[in-house]
Amino acid sequence: MKVVFALVAVLLVAALLLPQVAAAQETVALAVEGWRQETRNDIVYYRCASEICAAGSVVSTKRQPHRPAVSLAEFETHHRGLAKQNSGSGNVITARVTEARQRVIDGVRVIQISREVEWTSKTKTFTIEARLIGKGKSFSLVSDSPKLEWTVNNFEGFLRRMVDIAGIEGN
């Protein structure tokens, strides 16, 4: 009887702990026409694989720690620090951050910032990086491409889908 009780207790503890572990490792992947998907280190990458998204475009998403109190100023300060730290190092000539903004879409707070990186190869990358903060979960959404208008179009195209996911209540 003691063995059965101990086994039930172990199973109950495992049942209570496992859903929390699984939620911490949750990866959300979207099926998006024209984009090739791969997942590495809990980051889902979408690489342009057709004419509808522009060659060289990459969009990525990742579940983030849920920090609903993070402010636009904190987000901007963090990204300005990263740009300053990376300018002049490695293959980066300069990294500039612009257009920090915040908006709410269907109850999901979207904090975003734009970045332009000039590389030693004489190319540029335009990036929009965002944190989507829903009621109980948060995600990052990053769009990169060699042209600003492509970056914006790709970002806005993925944003709607990620807002829907971030807006779902629960863990």
* DSSP state for residue 91 in the 8-state scheme: T
Rounded mean pLDDT of 62-91? Answer: 94
For domain 30-166, the question of CATH label 3.40.50.2000 is answered with no
Rounded mean pLDDT of 12-22? Answer: 35
Rounded mean pLDDT of 25-30? Answer: 61
Q: Which pLDDT score is estimated for 14?
A: 34
Q: Which pLDDT score is estimated for 52?
A: 78
Residue 30 pLDDT greater than 80, yes or no: no
User: For residue 12, what pLDDT band results from cuts at 50, 70 and 90?
Assistant: very low
Q: Which pLDDT score is estimated for 51?
A: 80
Q: Which of 112, 119, 164 is nearest to 142 (CA)?
A: 112
What is the per-residue burial (b if ≥16 Cβ within 10 Å, else e) of 53-77? bbeebbbbbbbbeeeeebeeeebbe
Cα-Cα-Cα-Cα dihedral sign, residues 18, 70, 100, 80: negative
Q: Which pLDDT score is estimated for 79?
A: 95
Query: pLDDT (tens digit, 9 = 90+) per residue, 102-148?
Result: 999 999 999 999 999 999 999 999 999 999 999 889 999 999 999 99
Q: Which pLDDT score is estimated for 16?
A: 34
Residue 159 pLDDT greater than 60, yes or no: yes
Q: Which pLDDT score is estimated for 32?
A: 76
